[in-house]
Amino acid sequence: MVSKFITYRFKQVNERIKDWRSCSVLVSAIREHHQICCLNERSNKLLRLILLELYYVASGGFDFSLFQILYLDTGLIMRYIYIGAIVLTVQLIYSLAYVSAHLTETARGSYSDLNAIMARENNPKAKLKNIPCDLKFKIINLMERLAQMEISVWCLDLFPLNNYEFYLFIAATAKNFFLFASFIR
C-alpha cells in the first residue's frame, strides 16, 4: 500500500532530522519531507474516493448484513456469506484506518526535533554552529505546516482518517445499526 511506503519514508526523514550533523543534511531532509507530502497528495486523489465508498457504502452494507444475521431467519449459507462480508469489511476498514493514523503520527514525528533545533539555536550557551537565516525560515515553514496541516489519507476532503475519526465512524455505525433495527422491527 502506498500509505505504508509513505510512512516508512517519513520515518527515514525523521531520523535524518533527529541526527542532523550539518545544515546541508537538514536542508535535504526538509526538501524530502516536502516531496513525500506531495506524493501523499497525489496518492490521495484515488484513495479518497475509495475511502468514501468504504465508509458510506460499506457501513450501510455492514449494518444490513448484521441485521440479516441477527434478526431475520435466513438460511445457513446466507448467514455464512453475510458473516464473511462483515469480516472482510471490518478488516479492510480497520487496516486502512490503522495505516492512515500511523501515517499522521509519523508525518508529524519531526515536529519536536525541529522545535529543539530552533530552541538550541537561540540559546546563547549552545555550542552549535550558526544556522543560516534562509534555513531558519525553511525550518519554521515546515514547523508551521506540521502544526496546521493534517498529513493523512482523507475521505473525499471531508475529514482526515485518524484515530479519532475512526472512533467516530465506529460509534456512528453502531448507532445507525440500532436505528435501522428499531425502524425495521
Q: Where are the domains of the chain?
A: 2-184
Question: What angle do the packed helices 111-122 and 133-148 form, to 10 degrees?
Answer: 140
Question: 109, 11 in Cβ contact below 8 A?
Answer: yes
pLDDT higher than threshold 90 for residue 127: no
Highest mean pLDDT among 5-14, 18-27, 169-178: 5-14
Rounded to an integer, the average pLDDT of 77-91 is 85
Q: pLDDT by residue (tens digit) across 57-72? A: 877 878 888 888 888 7
Q: Which of 27-31, 61-65, 122-126, 162-166 has the lowest mean pLDDT?
A: 122-126
